[in-house]
Amino acid sequence: MKLKIMIFILGVALLGCEKEIKEVIRPVQTEVVSSLPQKLYLEYPAIVISENETLLSFRVAGAIEKMEVEIGSFVKKGDVIARMDKRDYEVQLKAFENKSKVAKGAYESAKAVAENARKQYQRVETLYKEKAIPKKSYDEALAGVKSASAGELAMLSQYQEALQGVENCKNQLKDTELKAPYDGYISKKIMGEGSVVGAGIPVVAISSESSKQVRINVSERDIKGIESGVGEFIIDNKHYKLQVAEIGKVMSIGKMTYPVTFNFIENSNDVLVDTMGIVKLESDTEGRDEVTIPVEAIFERDGKSRVWVYSDGKVVSKEVEMVAPYDNGKIIISGVEVGEKVVTRGVHELSEEQKVKELQPFTETNVGKVL
């Protein structure tokens, strides 16, 4: 009797387990994988650079007293960009001007003495030739003119040195003003008012008006479609037309990257160097095997991008490579085929080979059914 009861209880338990492990069929939303259009518009992060950017610095050391520009300011050649505290250089100039006055007086005195000595020597030389005076008097006159001439040269050297000091001080005083070497825009402010800088330390950067360019990095997959194309630089809802100027080539972590440089082909005066924006390009898709899918179809697993592919009431995951954003919430990828169906809703609740129920296209009437 006890044995029959135990068998009955075991049967009921097993029946309950069967009910518990009954497979869940989840409802999912799917979408057919689309091919790329013949012409594709790609967007890349971009930065404005300068082909001709110059770092400007003072030729003398001191404290910056006044900055006359801001980033983006337009300056003409010779315009003052920054002013340095010039009081020390004014004091130095005054000292050398006083020194030059003293040296000038000393030189003029030595010159007068030397001229008198030369005249005296000429008289003595004539008398000596006529044997009117002894050789001793001649030797004394000769020694006197040599000494006076040496004194004159020494004072002249000191006077010239003082004059050069005055000239140097004037140049240093002039160099307390930092001026634009050519017409252009201030692209960077490195130092500000109150900063103490040494000679040659960069204070600002200036870019010539016509040297601004835009640079992006393009993958090997995309480069063929844009080699001779035009594009546009977009920032703050403003669009500026571009023309490809140069395409480089850089090997990075086993992949080839192409730095592409563009020239502006219309007025870009209000665009500053180092400005970040977007470059939009038209690319020819002939020969490319990428497709487009909704971005919400992609999920991450084990550090890789994957999608669920629906077929015959089941889903299997496939690894994909994301290529670039596309329009209307879609993304360009590789790894699945045109015509396959990918799950776009409920992707995080699925497992390999799980049975699913495909819902009708996503609408307001069935939104509540999607998990």
Instruction: Give 118-164 pLDDT, tens digit per residue.
Output: 999 899 888 888 888 899 988 888 898 899 899 989 999 999 999 99
Which pLDDT does position 347 carry in this prediction?
87
216-225 mean pLDDT: 77
Q: Shortest CA distance to 57 belongs to which of 88, 74, 82?
A: 82
Can you read off the two tokens belonging to residue 194?
């109150």
* Residues 11 and 327: beta-carbon distance below 8 Å: no
**For strand 26-32 and strand 356-358, is the pairing parallel, antiparallel, or unpaired?**
parallel
Mean pLDDT for the chain overall: 84
Please name each of the domains of the chain with its CATH number.
Answer: 23-38+289-369 (2.40.420.20), 41-51+209-284 (2.40.30.170), 53-84+176-208 (2.40.50.100), 87-174 (1.10.287.470)
- pLDDT tops 90 at residue 105: yes
- How far is the first Cα of the chain from the last one, in angstroms, to the nearest whole number? 50
pLDDT tens-digit map of 252-273: 666 778 888 898 988 887 888 8
pLDDT tens-digit map of 4-36: 545 555 554 545 544 455 567 888 889 999 888
Query: Residues of 161-176 as b/e, b for ≥16 C-beta within 10 angstroms?
Result: ebbebbeebeebbebb
Return d(Cα 185, Cα 110) in angstroms, integer. 56
Residues contacting residue 256 through CB under 8 Å, at least 6 positions apart: 220, 249, 250
Return d(Cα 62, Cα 199) in angstroms, integer. 8
165: confidence class by pLDDT, cuts 50, 70, 90: very high
Return d(Cα 2, Cα 338) in angstroms, integer. 64
Return d(Cα 295, Cα 94) in angstroms, integer. 74
The secondary structure of the chain, three-state, reads CHHHHHHHHHHHHHHHHHHHCCCCCEEEEEEECEECCCEEEEEEEEEEEECCEEEEECCCCEEEEEECCCCCCEECCCCEEEEECCHHHHHHHHHHHHHHHHHHHHHHHHHHHHHHHHHHHHHHHHHHHCCCCCHHHHHHHHHHHHHHHHHHHHHHHHHHHHHHHHHHHHHHHHCCEEECCCCEEEEEECCCCCCEECCCCEEEEEEECCCEEEEEEEEHHHHCCCCCCEEEEEECCEEEEEEEEEECCEEECCEEEEEEEEEECCCCCCCCCCCEEEEEEEEECCCCCCEEEEHHHCEEECCEEEEEEEECCEEEEEECEEEEECCCCEEEEECCCCCCEEEEECHHHCCCCCEEEECCCCCCCCHHHCC
- pLDDT tops 80 at residue 228: no
227: confidence class by pLDDT, cuts 50, 70, 90: low
**For strand 250-252 and strand 202-208, is the pairing parallel, antiparallel, or unpaired?**
unpaired
How long is the chain? Answer: 371
pLDDT tens-digit map of 323-338: 777 777 888 888 898 9
Can you read off the two tokens belonging to residue 45?
């992060």
178-199 mean pLDDT: 92
In the sheet where 177-179 sits, what is the strand order?
177-179, 80-84, 62-67, 196-197
Q: Does pTM top 0.95 for this prediction?
A: no
